[in-house]
Amino acid sequence: MSIFVSIKRLFKHSAVYGIGHIVSRSINFLLLPLYTNIFPRDDYGVVGLMFTYIAILTIVYTYGLDAAFFRFYILEDDPTQRRKIFSTSFFTILVTSVLFSGIIFLNAETISRLIFSAEVRQLPVGLPHLIRLASGILMFDALSFLPYLILRAEERPVPFAIFKVINVLINVVSNILLLGVFKMGIDGIFLANLIASFSTFLLLAPVGLKHIGFAFSWVRLRELFAFGIPYLPSTLAVVIMDTIDRPLLERLDSIEAAGLYNAGVKLGMFMALFVAAYRFAWHPFFLSTSKQENAKSIFSRVFTYVLLACFFVFLFFSLFIDDIARFSIRGYSLIGQQYWESTVVVPVVMLAYVFYAAYLNFLIGIYLEKKTKYLPYITIAGMIGNLLANYFLIPVMGIMGAAWARFVAYLIMAVALYFVGQRLYPVRYEWGRIAKLCLTVGVVFAIGKTDFINQHILIKLVFFSLFPLFLFIVRFFDEAEVNKIRRILLQR
């Protein structure tokens, strides 16, 4: 299979398999105009902190069972054993999630004193009530976890995407009603999420009931735990890297800074969603492509093209993010005016996700050579780098310190995985072309941010559209690519 055909297949699958995840993650951006036009920074800071803890506890509630469930369910051919695997997994999560949520619900007052500073506890916000609502969200999300996995295991992307879309629609509508109509304040955000989680659980119940049976196997449970638990530290490390900056900002700076940064990170999710779509297709692609004779050439070219695509996204949103944030309809801007200065973190956050895309590409070696034991060390190294950078940079740079700490974390992970991967499965990446790409992007970004261009949106748009031309000038494209582009243009 040619390089161009293989890469076309990869990007086509990225669009198909990533849609459900993108829709579910887009909720953060869809509701950003509502939140930033209603809530002051300190209130939105509390929202960011609460969702940080929810994200971390979601991993604890499922304790690595996703990887383990896929491993045993997909490779098992016996329908009876498959039912036993599902039932054992579901009843385990049912018991533990009810137990965990019960403990959180009954000890909400104590937990609020432990996880929130005195500054936050003085705000006119019912923190224990929010914690109780969060315990319900965690429980119903955990119970929906396995039905979603079943849909993925059985390669049913359409129902998977539909349920994700329904969840988002219920969440958005509930938020609009509870915040815009009933004026419930922060409580409305978490009540809306609870309604969406509970509704999704009910909608997915038929999927679970179809596969469940009154069978429980301690042998299967031990197998699932033995395989899944080792993934927990690595998964937790990644989630902590993406979320811990808000609690640290609240402790090392202020709750207002945490709220401001929370808005900026949500704007940076454009790149995160793009990379997430690629991630969904990349694993099956490189595993199947590795059997081809020209596999290493394909992987090398994919890396160059992925960086090119990422930098297109990076440049567009970095140059136009202020215009996007200030876009106004009937006096309501996309981002509330008090949050406009949060856009300064967007380029750095997006650049961090570019390194995450590189990290995903460098996974090839450890997967093909079955050396995944290195992954926890690499991700934990990134987490430690993130924590240290946050600790030292936030007091000096505020929200920009948190953004650069995220960049440091993904840089550490990408570099470490590159050297490990190259020892296991060497790939000759096109570093000369990549250097030309990075240099061109840096120059375009620097010039685009000058006052003259940045203040005139039409001039900025023309300047951005010249980016491909600049790549031609520095001879980034090879002869085959130039001919391919010429044929595409002539066909039009």
Q: What average pLDDT does the segment 404-420 reach? A: 96
User: Strands, E, within 266-404: which ranges?
Assistant: 328-329, 332-333
Query: For the chain, what percent of residues have pLDDT higher than 70?
Result: 93
3-state percent helix, strand, coil for the chain, nearest multiple of 5: 85, 0, 15
Cβ neighbours around 432 below 10 Å, total? 10
**Assigned domain for 325 exists:** no
**Assigned domain for 155 exists:** yes
- pLDDT for residue 417: 95
Give CA–CA dist 56/53, Å, rounded: 5
Closest among 467, 1, 18, 459 to 278, alpha carbons compared: 18
CB 409 within 8 Å of CB 385:
yes
Range with the poorest average pLDDT among 161-170, 472-481, 483-492: 483-492
Domain that holds residue 79: 64-228
Give CA–CA dist 206/208, Å, rounded: 5
**Please, which residues bridge with residue 328 across strands?**
333
Give CA–CA dist 234/237, Å, rounded: 5
- pLDDT for residue 288: 74
**Assigned domain for 196 exists:** yes
Instruction: Retrieve residue 356's tokens.
Output: 């995450």
Count of domains forming the chain: 1
- Tell me the average pLDDT of the chain: 89
**Assigned domain for 80 exists:** yes
Give CA–CA dist 253/263, Å, rounded: 16
Q: Compute CA distances 21 → 10, 134, 279, whole Å.
A: 17, 21, 10
**Assigned domain for 183 exists:** yes
**Cβ contacts of residue 53 below 8 Å, gap of 6+?**
115, 134
Q: Where are the alpha helices (DSSP H) in 122-244?
A: 127-153, 157-175, 186-211, 218-228, 231-243
Range with the poorest average pLDDT among 117-126, 220-229, 357-366, 374-383: 220-229
Q: Compute CA distances 43 → 48, 124, 126, 128, 263, whole Å.
A: 9, 9, 11, 15, 12
**Cβ contacts of residue 269 below 8 Å, gap of 6+?**
25, 26, 28, 29
Residue 129 predicted with pLDDT over 90:
yes
- pLDDT for residue 194: 98
Separation of CA 25 from chain center: 7
**Assigned domain for 98 exists:** yes
**Assigned domain for 210 exists:** yes
Encode pLDDT of 210-254 as tens digits.
988 878 889 889 988 887 787 788 788 888 888 999 999 999 999
Residue 187 predicted with pLDDT over 70:
yes
Encode pLDDT of 306-349 as tens digits.
999 999 999 999 999 999 999 888 778 889 999 999 999 999 99
**Assigned domain for 113 exists:** yes
- Of 292 and 287, the one with more pLDDT: 292
